[in-house]
Chains A and B, each alone.
Chain A
Amino acid sequence: DVKVTQSSRYLVKRTGEKVFLECVQDMDHENMFWYRQDPGLGLRLIYFSYDVKMKEKGDIPEGYSVSREKKERFSLILESASTNQTSMYLCASCSGGSPQFNYGYTFGSGTRLTVV
């Protein structure tokens, strides 16, 4: 069974801390994504990556950065956590190229981050 694994299900951090959210996929997917989910706003794309060491900004990249040193791992970094970054974070992956790309994504189970 294919999997996208997020290292933490729940996380509580203090304001100003540097926070790392880890995501690993075992499907040899080229493309990986980080979304933020908030009530009434749906899922919003933070960053995505089409290849190792490659990254692209999504719709809400401010306050975040990413790292993709290996194909299977995509990390989201909160440089200095703030309370407005309290949210659910979802990682996803998919194969590169059409039509595989258009079969949708495989998602992780999410990390609920609380910044106090």
Chain B
Amino acid sequence: AQTVTQSQPEMSVQEAETVTLSCTYDTSESDYYLFWYKQPPSRQMILVIRQEAYKQQNATENRFSVNFQKAAKSFSLKISDSQLGDAAMYFCAFIQGAQKLVFGQGTRLTINP
């Protein structure tokens, strides 16, 4: 069974600085997709970024980028120029084929002004 592990329950960063959230996963498959979701206090889950496992190039979305290390089964999220609106729970998630999304435990990110 696939598993996703986020080893940092909480992280904090100063506004305008860079922070990296860690995620590792376990699978025997070679074709799959990885996601980072953001859940602000409003509770609405928002898709931040998506990575296809067959692509070696790391995905980027404005200030958000990932470091995808397929051999190490690692998928970290880097947030550059952190803003107060980035404060949220962040979930790493994995999906393979037509299977269900599997989520990590979440990391609560605090932005210090």
Contacts and interface: CB of A to CB of B under 8 A. Distances in A.
A101 B95 contact: yes
Report the interface size class on chain A: 20 to 34
A88 B6 CA distance: 20
Interface in A95-116: 97-98, 101-105, 107, 109-110
Nearest to B42: A109
A90 B45 contact: yes
Given A107-B44, A107-B45, A110-B43, A42 B97 contact: no
B103 A42 contact: yes
Which range holds the interface residue count of chain B?
20 to 34
B105 to A, nearest CB: 4
B101 A42 contact: no
Interface in B22-63: 33, 35, 37, 42-45, 47, 50, 52
Contact of A104 (B42, B43, B47, B105): B47
Contact of B103 (A43, A101, A102): A43
A17 to B, nearest CB: 23
Interface in A24-43: 33, 35, 40-43
A43 B42 contact: no
